[in-house]
Structure 1
């Protein structure tokens, strides 16, 4: 069991998401930075999809009520277990009564915390994720509040080796953080209406740095930049969309759909961010700049294959490192 001591309303219980229900109008939800959750789960010995906590508002504090093992991943934020520093991408033993504190990120936007056994909340449509938009799943269908107590699944075992913990080298998977004066590069595939945008609009889309506006949340990010125009007026029926879809409404300013994206929409689609780069959006704060780089299907598939290869190797290494008593 853990108790939430301080939090923000958008911090929530998430797993890898709710799949198979888009045709019924039920979105995916799930951790915005899915690879970070997978890595944190593998470090603590869980299945990669066990539910953890997504932290997007800081500072965040929780108290462990039982001995357990936890890992912190995602954003580069100062973390402490009582008075001990917790490095990024690191797993540690925690004793009952100890307090974990996460401070404002130095880079990135969302931290991920995984716990041995995962967060034990009911499965809803096959997932423990919170759908904040539709108010179901997770912990009472809402973000976390001070005083909430969350049960952990499984048994409480301590790592018998590496009492100070150990970490994951994520340099193979993650690009270095962009400098303040640099845009975050996202690889995209052309979407259904790409060719209907003017040549000038397509050039602007790829050559412009786009600003993430204050209108940014788990549903999507609205961007600010030059107006993107069509060669002709389109009258589209609502059609299926998913995380990563870049739509362009009549004002010509793109919207990137994210974890709690609507399941359908009628705005023209200019591109789709490849799945392997969605984590970059999760770690892009309001005010960051984005740059879209056109790629192809083979590259998108290879990037996902690289992620899966990394996860398989990490699972094997973590099992050797931790040991149990």
Structure 2
């Protein structure tokens, strides 16, 4: 295996996702603006929560974790894209490809697990309010965050380990960034272990989606009982549900087009391929910043104090 890794490390992979783009350089300004704005809106929420002690509550801590993960996801994609938009040839080293995939899939798995943890938090807060404070302590929050990142990094590490053992016979990826599915297709040996592990991950995250669905069934039943529960559901659960739907839809687009889109749909496929790395990190902080009244109020107050108006 070590010898195979050394052989693969000499490979330069050609990224062909920009080949059909006739206006790649003008897109540079749009991509740079999107990246900067994504980082700024996420940092705004993170800094607001960190500096305001009234926001040191589990739901806001988990929201910050989602924002940190969003920055990681966007940063696994934009810097390489920005470089390629100005370069004459879009290539990436084998090590660079593996590194990009490690951060990309860590972001994907962490997003799913974070949303599952947030659903659990909302379930306890609304369905079992009397025991919520005793249950969701600072130590419990830290444990949940550690579990989220540990599971996500472990899932990614195993996937990368299964990839690096494969010999590559081709060097062209029809996308603007590296993905597991495309790299596996470059191999000239059996990929059964990779396929089985991919199926295992699908089942695991479908179970997470099932847990979220079950929690929301209970949340809706509880929320209709009183006005205060309905208000809490609308303010904290709807943003979470919106974030989940945005991320799932974005990831689904990439999965479907990676497997079933034909050559005639290459432009659309390349546009949708990066949606899960572009849209959720940009939209999530906006959704939470607008819907969570306490966060919105603190951001407005901080902005007013800074501008002196």
More helix as a share of residues: 2
Report the TM-score range of the alignment, normalised by the length of the smaller protein: under 0.3
With the length of structure 2 as denominator, give the TM-score of the two structures. 0.25
Structure with bigger gyration radius: 2
With the length of structure 1 as denominator, give the TM-score of the two structures. 0.24
